Amino acid sequence: MAELDKLREGIDKIDSQILRLLNKRTEIVLKIRKAKKQKHISPHSPEREREILERLSKANKGRFPNDVLKTIYREILSASLSLEQPLKVAYLGPSATFTHLAAKRNFGSSAEYLPESTIRDVFEAVVRGNARYGVVPIENSTEGVVNYTLDMFMDSELKIASEIMLAISHNLLSKTGKTADIKKIYSYPQATAQCRGWLKANFPVIPIVEELSTAAAAKRVSKDPSAAAVASELAASVYKLKFVKRGIEDYKSNFTRFLVIAKNSSPKTGKDKTSIMFSVKDRPGALYTILRHFAKNKINLTKIESRPSKRKAWEYIFFVDMAVHITEKNTKKAIEEVKKECLYLKVLGSYPSAE
């Protein structure tokens, strides 16, 4: 016991040092904030935050896991930013959606989160200045793109400031946690689609009812003991539901990509993406003509999607992601060449590629 007490005493001393250094760091943060205010510089610097996280990850030679280290420092950075005024972030709500979880992972617990009912509302919150950033889903690794998010970029002048990748695990939740009590299942269509096989095998005759989000489903189920919801672990905690079954998604390698939208893009980091949208003239080989400009300039396209323009029958808008930053010479050259072949071209933003 004497040896154990001595080791614990060592831990206590280290914890006291960490606390002292955190407060010392905070004093410097406040000085930086004051200097930025005098020069009319935004207090939030995503590129600086990213630089800190990358530097610490590379410098970490010990046993402490890097993913946990990054989580801790995201909270430190979030708390530091909130000392004067919390960062406001709009997201597709209600509370406890996967979008909410993605936003918290990116901006930390000290940001002020504003739940919005629709993807359009998230865009409008940023446009009006009610929030500095918005977080919206863009695609799932098994179910594909969220078309409504793509459509919003057609008319919005907002930019993509960053992206977030979140591993998605779905759970079947209910008030009682008992299979026998379930008479109907609520969830968001993409969530139930990702669990289609499991639901068919285990609840083949139970009706599945569409909800606006997984969190809205959980909220409804919290008032109905005869229903269950396909939702997140965070939703179980928020709405005080029990687990009927954990991890019911059909594919365990299930990720959703979210976009952080803002009024400005992000500076170059060295590991970036650029997203654009364009429409082409209706003629044979039109898309091939466009794509060869990217190939000629050695630009790697990581994604291409098409959507009806909604302005003219059979006219399509193409959305493209490229593994480059807009400031790079070859990117600028390719964009200029592509513009000549397009009816319309819009740069949606350059931003750091998610890990």
- What is the crossing angle of helices 119-127 and 147-155, to 10°? 30
Q: Is 256 a catalytic residue?
A: yes
**pLDDT reported for residue 311:** 66
Supply the pLDDT for residue 314. 56
Do 220 and 189 fall into the same domain?
yes
Residue 29 located in a structural domain: no
Do residues 276 and 348 lie in contact, with contact meaning Cβ atoms separated by under 8 Å?
Answer: yes
Residue 25 belongs to a domain: no
Reported as a single tens digit per residue, the pLDDT across 267-323 is 888 889 999 999 887 777 778 888 899 999 999 999 998 887 666 665 678 899 999
Q: Exposure string (b/e) for 47-85, b if CB count within 10 Å is 16 or more?
A: eebbebbeeeeeeeeeeeeeeebbeebbebbbbbbeeee
Q: How many domains does the chain have?
A: 4
Confidence (pLDDT) at 146: 81
- pLDDT, residue 128, reads 94
Phi, psi of 249 (to 5 degrees): -65, 145
* Within-domain flag for 316: yes
Among 261, 285, 314, where does a domain finish?
261
Check: CB of residue 211 under 8 Å from CB of residue 153: no
- At what angle are helices 66-81 and 46-59 packed, to 10 degrees? 150
Q: Is 258 one of the annotated active-site residues of the chain? A: yes
Q: Are residues 128 and 78 in the same domain?
A: no
Question: Is the residue at 15 inside a domain?
Answer: no
Give residue 121's domain range.
88-168+255-261
The reply to whether 1 falls in a domain is no
CATH number of the domain bearing residue 309: 3.30.70.260
As given in the structure block, the two tokens for residue 182 are: 């379930």
User: Domain end: 232, 261, 290, which one?
Assistant: 261
Q: Are residues 74 and 103 in the same domain?
A: no
> How far lies 207's CA from each of 186, 190, 191, 230, 245, in Å?
9, 16, 15, 13, 18
pTM beyond 0.85: the answer is no
Residues 46 and 87: beta-carbon distance below 8 Å: no
Residues pairing with 112 in the sheet: 88
The residue count for the chain: 355
Q: What pLDDT score does 310 carry?
A: 66
CATH code for position 125: 3.40.190.10
Same domain, 284 and 331: yes
CB hemisphere CA count around 61 (13 angstroms): 1
In a domain, 19, yes or no: no
Catalytic residue among 98, 107, 123, 258: 258
The confidence score (pLDDT) of residue 313 equals: 60
pLDDT at 179 (0 to 100): 93
Give the chain's residues under pLDDT 50.
Answer: none
The residue annotated as part of the active site, out of 149, 256, 274, 331, is: 256
Residues 272 and 337 in one domain: yes
pLDDT for 2 equals: 83
Q: Which amino acid is at 186?
A: Y
Across the chain, where does the E strand assignment appear? 88-92, 112-116, 133-140, 144-145, 159-167, 171-174, 184-187, 208-210, 227-231, 242-245, 255-262, 272-280, 301-308, 316-322, 342-352
CB atoms < 10 A from the CB of 151, how many? 17
If asked whether residues 75 and 96 sit together in one domain, one would say: no
Could you tell me if 340 and 347 are in contact, meaning their C-beta atoms sit under 8 angstroms apart? no
